[in-house]
Structure 1
Amino acid sequence: MSEVADGRPRRPGRAGREGFVRARFITGFLAAPVLLYLVYVISPYAQAFSIAMTDWRGVSAAPRFVGLANFGRLLGDGVFWRAVGHNALLLVLLPLLTLAIALFFAFLLNAGGQGGGVAGVWGSGFYRVVFFFPQVLAVAIVAVLFQQVFRPDGSGMLNGPLIALGLEPVGFLSDPGVAFWSILAVLVWQAVGFYVVLFSAGMASIPREMFEAARIDGAGRVQLFARVTLPLLWETVQVGWIYLGIAALDVFALVWVMTAEHGGPDHSTTVMAAEVYRNAFQYFKFGYASAMGVVLFFFTVAFAVLALRLSRRERIEF
Structure 2
Amino acid sequence: MHKGKNRFVAGFLIGPLGLYLIFMIWPYVQTFGYSFTNWRGQSSQMEFVGLDNYAELFSDSVFLRALWNNLLLLVALPLVTILLALFFAFMVNVGGRGGEAGIRGVRGSGLYKVIFFLPHVLSVVILAILWRAVYRGDVAGLINGSLIKLGISDPEQPVEWLNSPNLVLWCVAFVLLWWGVGFYLVLFSAAMQSIPREIYEAALLDGARRTQTFFKVTLPLLWDTVQTSWVYLAIMAMDCFALISVMTPGNSFGGGPDHSSEVMATYLMRNFLVFGKSGYACAMGVVILLLTLILSVVTLRASRRERIEY
One-letter code aligned to 1:263: G
Structure number with bigger Rg: 1
Shift of 1:67: 1.3
Cross-structure match for 1:74:
57
Cross-structure match for 2:234:
245
- Given that residues 91 and 105 in structure 2 are in contact (C-alpha distance below 8 angstroms), is that contact kept between their aligned partners in structure 1? yes
1:271 to 254, 263, 272: 263
> 2:254 aligned with 1:231, yes or no?
no
Cross-structure match for 2:153:
167
Cross-structure match for 1:120:
105
Distance change >3 Å, CA 303–CA 166, structure 1 → 2: closer
Cross-structure match for 1:89:
72
1:279-290 alignment, distance < 5 Å: 279-290=271-282
What is the alpha-carbon distance in structure 1 between the residues aligned to residue 248 and residue 29 of structure 2?
32
Cross-structure match for 1:8:
none
Shift of 1:228: 0.4
One-letter code aligned to 1:272: M
1:17-166 alignment, distance < 5 Å: 18-116=1-99, 117-164=102-149, 165=151
What is the alpha-carbon distance in structure 2 between the residues aligned to residue 241 and residue 89 of structure 1?
15
What is the alpha-carbon distance in structure 2 between the residues aligned to residue 290 and residue 61 of structure 1?
15
Cross-structure match for 1:7:
none
- Give CA-to-partner distance per residue, 1:180-218, whole Å, 9 cap, x none: 111100000001100000000000110000000001001
What is the alpha-carbon distance in structure 2 between the residues aligned to residue 202 and residue 75 of structure 1?
42
> 2:171 aligned with 1:182, yes or no?
yes
Aligned residues between the structures: 301
- Given that residues 138 and 160 in structure 2 are in contact (C-alpha distance below 8 angstroms), is that contact kept between their aligned partners in structure 1? no
- Give CA-to-partner distance per residue, 1:18-47, whole Å, 9 cap, x none: 332232222222101110110011010011
Shift of 1:81: 0.8
Shift of 1:230: 0.4
Identity %: 53
One-letter code aligned to 1:251: C
2:245 to 256, 268, 272: 256
- Give CA-to-partner distance per residue, 1:242-291, whole Å, 9 cap, x none: 00001111110111111111101111110000011000011111100000
Q: Secondary structure at the match of 2:42?
A: coil
TM-score by length of 1: 0.93
One-letter code aligned to 1:160: G
What is the alpha-carbon distance in structure 1 between the residues aligned to residue 58 and residue 6 of structure 2?
49
- Given that residues 138 and 159 in structure 2 are in contact (C-alpha distance below 8 angstroms), is that contact kept between their aligned partners in structure 1? no
What is the alpha-carbon distance in structure 2 between the residues aligned to residue 313 and residue 20 of structure 1?
39
TM-score by length of 2: 0.95
**Structure 1: 5+ residue runs without aligned partners?**
1-17
Q: Mean alpha-carbon deviation: is it higher for 66-75 or for 197-206?
A: 66-75
Q: Secondary structure at the match of 2:106?
A: coil
**Structure 2: 5+ residue runs without aligned partners?**
none
One-letter code aligned to 1:189: W
Shift of 1:166: 6.0
One-letter code aligned to 1:155: A
What is the alpha-carbon distance in structure 2 between the residues aligned to residue 61 and residue 42 of structure 1?
21
What is the alpha-carbon distance in structure 2 between the residues aligned to residue 224 and residue 115 of structure 1?
14
Cross-structure match for 1:316:
308
- Given that residues 39 and 279 in structure 2 are in contact (C-alpha distance below 8 angstroms), is that contact kept between their aligned partners in structure 1? yes
What is the alpha-carbon distance in structure 2 between the residues aligned to residue 29 and residue 259 of structure 1?
46
* RMSD, aligned CA: 1.0
Cross-structure match for 2:209:
220
